[in-house]
Structure 1
Amino acid sequence: MDNFPNGVLALFDANLYYRIVGPETLPFSGQKAADIAGKQIYDLFPEETAAKLEPKLEATIDGEPRSFDIEHEELTHHIETKSVSIGGEPYGVLVSQDVTDVRQNAERIEQQNERLDQFASMVSHDLRNPLSIAYGELELYRETMEEAHLDEVENALGRIENLIVDLTALAQNSTSDEYRPVSLTAVAEDAWELIDTRTASLETNENVIVGDQSQLQALFENLFRNAVGHGGESVTVRVTPLDNGFYVEDTGDGIPPEKRDQIFEHGFTTGYGGSGVGLTIVKRIASDHGLEVSVSESPEGGARFEFHAVQ
């Protein structure tokens, strides 16, 4: 027990009292093992934590080993249990180790792999389609000299340009160390100027948000492109602060309730020629900024995206 790395060992009885605990000083909290031995789990842990432990430790006493993670005091602990018999009485052995860094690293790698898969999908498929169209229409123009084919080439190149913007946003990453106060109105207006808004209108209310300006601009660009693409050239888009975030809503046709859980999935599209990655980028940027995004309906029946601070 004294040399157990980064962890705690404990022997517990059928009433879920810790009987033996080690090492002498626990690595997680600095508590003394002597202060823990002889106490029941509801005396040692908050009720929510103890309630999660209870069925797993009881199963162990019944002879069923358990392996699970549990959150306690802002750390992630991995726990392994196994039943033992001492003097004919059932006991359980518990091993707990701090795996916070391991789990966070695994989550980061998983997110990076997901982003890489999305990036590869766009390069191999979404970019190839308009590129093929451009080559085909250019060949037809050379054969017929009809300028209508050049219009199609221009449309295809515009599509490629939009995809490159999405690819750039998908590839970029920022950390909270780089975040600075940003004017919600300024970043929204900058994003509005960079897309083809036709005769659509933008309404904003001043507020300050802490984040990466270029990433937040990419978030707004994708939302605005989506609003104009679905709502048409006369749509109105509003950006308004909330107590713990902000919302972006439009006066368009809205998003059917049955599709709201799908729209953030990579490749999902409801038409107008979108890439199916724009709202995936929106959710990823929001998550990087500690914001949770939800979808509902604006007063006019259009789409409303709400961004709330998770912490």
Structure 2
Amino acid sequence: MPNEPERERGTPPESEREEQVSSVEERYRKIFEHNNDAVMIVDLEGEEFVDVNPKACQLLGYSRSELLAMHPEEIHPDDIDRIRDEFISQVTEEGTGFTDELTCLTKTGSVIPTEISGAALDLSDDETKPSQMVAMLRDISDRVEHRRELQEKIERLDQFASIVSHDLKNPLSVITGHATLARETGNREHFEAIEDAAERMDEMLSDLLMLTREGNLVGDRTTIELETLARKVWLECNLEPATLDIESSTSIRADRDRLHELFANLFENASTHGGQSVTVRVGAFDTEQNEGFYIEDDGDGIPVDEQENVFDWGHTTTRDGTGFGLAIVAEIVDAHGWSIGVCDSESGGVRFEICLT
């Protein structure tokens, strides 16, 4: 018998090597088919899908045959140019790539935020760039939603901080004013006003701290008489020589502290924009369409083209204004499930109508 060619020491026979290769391929095939992420083999030159796993079909809503007849730009219509310039070029030049800013359009037309990682497949001896890559898509909808919720909480906290800084100005000004009068006159009632304002500040801070923790702007509701609360807030605001005229009253189910802030902000807005001698009128209305209450004044009013923007955060028409007062009012109204509108009053000033239904 002719001598068989000698194998190098430690080298398995051909049949054994074939079995090892087949075993490795089978393992990779199982990883491909049972992966929790969508896995797609992409031909880089033709931008075509060579193979896709079941998870890719599930994620995008297409059958395997449908996906293999499509191109990546049909899945990523909004991002394809950026993906070519940033992701695919990174895979081509560096062998791997990643981005977490990719949206996928499903068969039903819904958009799914995803992250994608990719790797170039083996190069042949005569190639300088890969002809194919493996791309792994992961649905990050939960992460994006969590990020959105965090952003909303941050914005909410910023608004609460604005509310605190804005609404503490009124009791602080009361304290400052009565402290000056107390020094001049020694009248006991000024000290009582200071104590009341300090207690009011303490209540506001406690309430707002609780609200920031709970994420709700409105707490427990009680029945409140419109006239009683309006007169109390007016006295605390100390807006003389401005005058308050209660034209009618009604009972309201509301969070007392938040409604207190609403009246304080609207009264101060009237004084700021209507002048020191402004007259503010408060009353109730009940029509076939709505019922609620109003606060109006006889000041200069708000131009029609600005009325839609007065409740925006930061919107102000005065040099030293914060733009928070009316925005806070709108937040309080919305948190109660009410609505608020603004228009001209009969005396030429501004009228705010809060609809309870």
Q: Which band: TM-score by shorter chain?
A: 0.5 to 0.7
Q: Secondary structure at the match of 1:78?
A: strand
Cα drift, residue 106 of structure 1: 2.6
Cα drift, residue 68 of structure 1: 0.4
RMSD (Å) for aligned C-alpha atoms: 6.0
Out of 236, 248, 269, the residue aligned to residue 230 of structure 1 is 269
Aligned partners of 1:19 and 1:38 also within 8 Å: no
2:116 aligned with 1:77: no
Aligned residue in 2 for 1:210 = none
1:26-105 equivalent positions in 2, closer than 5 A: 26-28=57-59, 31-41=62-72, 43=74, 50-60=76-86, 63-64=89-90, 66-70=99-103, 72=105, 76-80=112-116, 82=118, 84=120, 88=129, 91=132, 93-105=134-146
Alignment partners' CA distance in 2, 1:153 and 1:62: 68
Q: When the two structures are superposed, what TM-score results if normalisation uses the length of structure 2?
A: 0.49
Query: Closer, same or farther in 2 for the Cα pair 1:90/1:282, shift >3 Å?
Result: farther
2:337 aligned with 1:298: no
Cα drift, residue 297 of structure 1: 6.8
Cα drift, residue 94 of structure 1: 3.6
Count how many residue pairs are aligned between Structure 1 and Structure 2.
276
Alignment partners' CA distance in 1, 2:204 and 2:40: 56
Query: Closer, same or farther in 2 for the Cα pair 1:265/1:124, shift >3 Å?
Result: closer
Show structure 2 runs of 5+ residues with no match.
Answer: 1-31, 91-96, 218-222, 235-243, 271-277, 288-292
Aligned partners of 1:239 and 1:249 also within 8 Å: yes
Tell me the percent identity.
16
Alignment partners' CA distance in 1, 2:332 and 2:133: 43
Query: Closer, same or farther in 2 for the Cα pair 1:26/1:62, shift >3 Å?
Result: closer
Aligned partners of 1:134 and 1:156 also within 8 Å: yes
Aligned residue in 2 for 1:47 = none
Query: Closer, same or farther in 2 for the Cα pair 1:28/1:100, shift >3 Å?
Result: same
Query: Closer, same or farther in 2 for the Cα pair 1:227/1:101, shift >3 Å?
Result: same
CA offsets, 1:96-129, max 9 Å, x none?
Answer: 2222222222332343345446656776996599
Cα drift, residue 259 of structure 1: 11
Query: Closer, same or farther in 2 for the Cα pair 1:31/1:280, shift >3 Å?
Result: farther
Cα drift, residue 281 of structure 1: 7.3
Cα drift, residue 52 of structure 1: 0.6
Alignment partners' CA distance in 2, 1:220 and 1:74: 42
- Which amino acid in structure 2 is aligned with residue 264 of structure 1? W
Aligned partners of 2:115 and 2:139 also within 8 Å: no
Aligned residue in 2 for 1:156 = 197
Q: Secondary structure at the match of 1:234?
A: strand
Query: Closer, same or farther in 2 for the Cα pair 1:77/1:96, shift >3 Å?
Result: farther
CA offsets, 1:165-191, max 9 Å, x none?
Answer: 97279435359xxxxxxxxxxx9x977
**Most deviating of 93-102 and 131-140:** 131-140
Show structure 1 runs of 5+ residues with no match.
Answer: 45-49, 176-186, 204-212, 242-247
Q: When the two structures are superposed, what TM-score results if normalisation uses the length of structure 1?
A: 0.54
Alignment partners' CA distance in 2, 1:2 and 1:164: 57
